[in-house]
Structure 1
Amino acid sequence: MTPRGVAGLPRLTVDGEHVPPRHLARLVTRTARALTTAGAGPGRAAALACDHPLTAVVSALAAEAAGAPLLLDGAAPSRRIAAAAAVHATSTGEPVVEVRPRPLALPEDTAAVFWTSGSSGDPKAVAVPAAALAHQGRATATRMGITAADRLLLPLPLRHAYGHSVLRVWRTSGAHLYAESGFHLRTTLTRLAVEGITSLDGVPTMYRMLAAEAARDAGSARLLAALRIRGCGGDVLTPTLYDDFLAATGAPLHDGYGLSEAGPNVALNAPGDLRPGTVGRLLDGVRARVTGPRREIEIAGPGLMRGYLDPATGALDRGPFTADGWLRTGDTGTVTADGWLTVGGRIKEILVVHGETVAPTVVEDAARAADGVVDAAVVGIRHGDRGDAVWAFVESPDNDHAAVAGRVAEACRRRLPPHARPRAVRVVPALPRTSSGKHDRVRLRVWASDATAVAA
């Protein structure tokens, strides 16, 4: 067997160690053959069962070569879909294939299965066809102007849709990918200083740390400003973080809008093509419309999923699609005639207080302005016809929780109208997060509900 797509692999560096192209090609060929021997192929999946970046890259390339769907984020038992084979990492980070019996039959055009974050509900398996992944790589690389001359630093897991989309851009553009096992502030700054990195991708939490470091250290600020692309995704980029990063470095963040069900990238702010206050311009080939009284964003284009996959039967659920084939995103927003998109928030997460709508991100930004607050997350607890009670959970290393809560309340009084101010502030050493790094609002609602019940 000669796997498809092994020749001409782009340059790869993992945790600072260059992976010679011949060695990478051998790993891909060997893994693809092992997957085929295990029974993986069209409709019979291979599961990426670890987070090691070398194994993740090899698994993606090998599954493509074998024609097998790749299951991502499949390690959690509650989420597992029966696959023909699972790929683990050895102690050296190289892949090893484990055969699994009785794989689930998937739609044959499925190329990858992502899991939604589960930040506001149960995670769902998203079945994505090969054509959607190919379009995502091409359209994103084109919008961001990425070529073989670029060096992409990725300190994010490749098992999530965001990280995997960068992998597609790498494959499409021929750029040099620097994949990291995780984000470490000093390591990231060292890579920027030594490796000639041109593009950095990360989540808001990461950029909050980088902005704070840049505000303290002019050298770090210069390194971040020298990047051509500072991609920020995976969660909402708040106006405060955007402004803080810009003030510390003199350079903007390039955020966007996406969801696992649609690519993930739908719209992007790019170098030289950026409008603060929006999530960017729609990618080529993507259309958006806003419908209904809630102003829900709906998406059409070549990057859409086939549907949600039933982990037990392999059947596809097309419930999120309209009768004419548009994807209902569950997000509110606006779109201009020339394709610039603005997102208001998740419909499920929008709070209604005394008849007034409140976006959690606005309250979170106000809470973060208080001294000693590292991060904040806001949820609402419904109280009959009175609407939502706003609960703010703030992350702080300060052990004087009462003092922190008082500062948060004061910051919110200065910045928010009365109906949007939190009715309760709880200080925690660390906010709960999903596996993709988003605030776990499901768990926060449980905490708030439990506390409400005890108080009653």
Structure 2
Amino acid sequence: MSPRSGPAGPPLLTVDGEHVPPGGLAHLVARTARELDRAGAGPGRAAALACDHPLTAVVAALAAETTGAPLLLDGTAPARRVPPAAVVHATAAGEPVVTRAAARPLGVPEETAAVFWTSGSSGDPKAVAVSAAALAHQGRATAARMRVTAEDRLLLPLPLRHAYGYSVLSVWRTTGAHLYAESGFHLRGTLARLATEGITSLDGVPTMYRMLAAEAARDVEAARMLAALRIRGCGGDVLTPALYDDFLKATGAPLHDGYGLSEAGPNVALNAPGDVRPGTVGKLLDGVRARLAGPEREIQIASPSLMLGYLDPATGDLDRGAFTADGWLRTGDTGAVTADGWLTVGGRIKEVLVVHGETVAPTVVEDAVRAADGVTDVAVVGVRRGDRGDTVWAFVESPDADRTALAGRVAEACRRRLPPHARPRTVRVVPELPRTGSGKYDRVRLRAWAADATAAAA
């Protein structure tokens, strides 16, 4: 985003509870921009963010913007896969330091402002190249939909190197709100910020809100503080009806979920304060259009914040294969959209299970499993059995020592809530589900576990 598009006045930033004076922030940005320039970063020559420290991430974003250098966002992995001109690390004090990259930098299209990596939760991660104009539009459209102003205080316990967190940074730059950037989510730390800092907006992923809902159910003060927020943004993964209902029951206030993907900016549609339709993922943002295509009713998107294309890490070329001939983005998701712009998402086309000719959405099975006592979280995948369709596997996260008893409770919950074909044939209890860097279930790894176990048993 161009500095000229931002609001007047100094940016307000607090990192891990420590206020960053505007003058100090400006000094760090100017110094980092000079170091990037000396290292050879600039238009078409990228800088890689090689850490998650929120102060370094903010400074790196602003400094890369100043120099025109594309910013590679996903920790050290893209720094290895897309050779940058410079790498931004954090010192022990959390301040940025720039080093020149040893390898010959890859030239990327000069209109590229940032490169995000998809989560890889259902396939190989891809490098998503976006322009400054796309980032600017995303900030403006998201701020308008959520009615964010300079009076808001935005608590962000998410990494800035993923598209969701970076979109909040764009909203901050657009509105002049006060950003409270955290190194990570900690239940007590988040509640402490809500109690003392006048926070009006919280952004997080479903796993985080599941913990907050459980806390609110046993602590009326936690419930009161969560209800007092104007915005309770939930993204990064599917918000299930069960979690939505649990949070609403515990706090009396709704979560504001939406629909987005790195390739689209990321936000496409959002439920907003005072304008929520349960069962949908919200209303399309200004400037965004959606249509349904093909027999699977795939959602396709047109928006000013669409990516330039997938960046080839070997050549620097842009792959536009995800776009239709007339320029719409194929999302790979099924859904429906009303005439007035409210969007409903059915699920990933390639994640929908087919059992005995019947389609099964993993999220429906997951909600049934969560009804069993002792289930912390669950991810459902399918293992294809030739022409017989998918075998449904449920991987259950739980600290429960008696795994056999828990598996029995899961089976009973599914018998009460699901038709026979949708019930998991195998329930595997694990201490912790594998996740991607953005917090989504790593379904690729789970499918591999299920396939290996199936092969071993054959």
User: 2:231 & 2:7 partners in 1: Cα distance?
Assistant: 28
Structure 1 residue ranges without an equivalent (≥5): none
Query: After the TM superposition, which residues 377-396 of structure 1 pair with which residues of structure 2 at under 5 Å, given as runs?
Result: 377-396=379-398
Residue correspondence of structure 1 range 240-389 to structure 2 within 5 A: 240-389=242-391
Contact 1:140 1:169 survives alignment (8 Å): yes
Q: CA deviation at 1:74?
A: 4.1
Q: Report the residue type matching 2:289 in the other structure.
A: R
Trace 1:152-191 onto structure 2 (pairs within 5 A): 152-191=154-193
> Match for 2:452: what amino acid?
D
Partner of 1:114: 116
Asked if the contact 2:52–2:75 (Cα under 8 Å) also holds between the matched residues in 1, the reply is no
Equivalent position amino acid for 1:39 in 2: G
| Residue of 425, 436, 439 corresponding to 2:438 | 436
- Tell me the alpha carbon deviations over residues 29-74 of structure 1, each in whole angstroms, 9 at most, x when there is no partner: 0001111111111111111100000000000000001111110004
Cα deviations across residues 266-287 of structure 1 (Å, max 9, x unaligned)? 0000001110100000000000
Aligned amino acid, residue 86 of structure 1 = V
1:44 alignment partner in structure 2 = 45
Indicate if the aligned counterparts of 1:4 and 1:65 stay in contact, CA closer than 8 A.
no
Q: Which sits farther off after the overlay, 355-364 or 79-88?
A: 79-88
User: Following TM superposition, by how much is the alpha carbon of 1:141 offset from its aligned partner in structure 2, in angstroms?
Assistant: 0.4
Which SS does the other structure have where 1:412 is aligned?
Answer: helix
Q: CA deviation at 1:80?
A: 2.5
Q: Does 1:53 align with 2:54?
A: yes
Cα pair 2:6 2:173 within 8 Å, conserved = no
- SS of the residue 2:76 aligns to: coil
Residue equivalent to 1:19: 20
Once residues 415 and 173 of structure 2 are traced to their aligned partners in structure 1, the CA distance between those partners, rounded to angstroms, is 49
Rate the CA distance shift 1:25–1:205 in 2: closer, same or farther, 3 A. same
Code of the residue aligned with 1:262 in structure 2: it is: A
CA distance in 1, matches of 2:78, 2:283: 38
Q: Residues 188-267 of structure 1: matches in 2 within 5 Å?
A: 188-267=190-269
Supply the AA of the counterpart residue of 2:54: P
Partner amino acid, structure 1, of 2:139: G
Distance in 2 (alpha carbons) for counterparts of 1:307 and 1:48: 20
1:191 maps to a residue whose letter is R
CA shift, 1:301, in A, is: 1.2
Residue number in structure 2 paired with 1:97: 98
Question: Deviation at 1:7?
Answer: 8.3
Give, as a single letter, the amino acid of the residue that structure 1 aligns with 2:136: A
* Residue 166 of structure 1: how far off its partner (Å): 0.3
Question: 1:454 Cα deviation (Å)?
Answer: 1.1
Secondary structure, counterpart of 1:208 in structure 2: helix
User: Does the 8 A contact of 2:64 with 2:71 survive in 1?
Assistant: yes
Distance 1:5 1:420 in 2: 50
Change (3 A) 1:443 1:152: same
| Number of equivalent positions | 455
Measure, in 2, the Cα distance between the counterparts of 1:321 and 1:430: 36
Structure 2 unaligned spans of 5+: none
Shift of 1:4: 11
Check conservation: 1:48, 1:88, Cα contact below 8 A: yes
Tell me the distance in 1 between the aligned counterparts of 2:425 and 2:133.
48
Deviation digits for residues 345-396 of structure 1 (CA, Å, limit 9, x no counterpart): 0011000001110000000111111111000000000111110000000000
- Identify if the C-alpha distance between structure 1 residues 35 and 6 changes in structure 2 by more than 3 Å, giving closer, same or farther: farther
Distance 1:247 1:191, change over 3 A: same
1:403 is aligned, of 402, 405, 410, to 405
In the TM superposition, what is the alpha-carbon distance from 1:8 to its structure 2 partner? 4.0
Query: What SS class does the counterpart of residue 448 from structure 1 fall into?
Result: helix
Residue 76 of structure 1 and its aligned partner are, at CA, apart by: 2.1
TM-score by length of 1: 0.98
CA shift, 1:10, in A, is 1.4
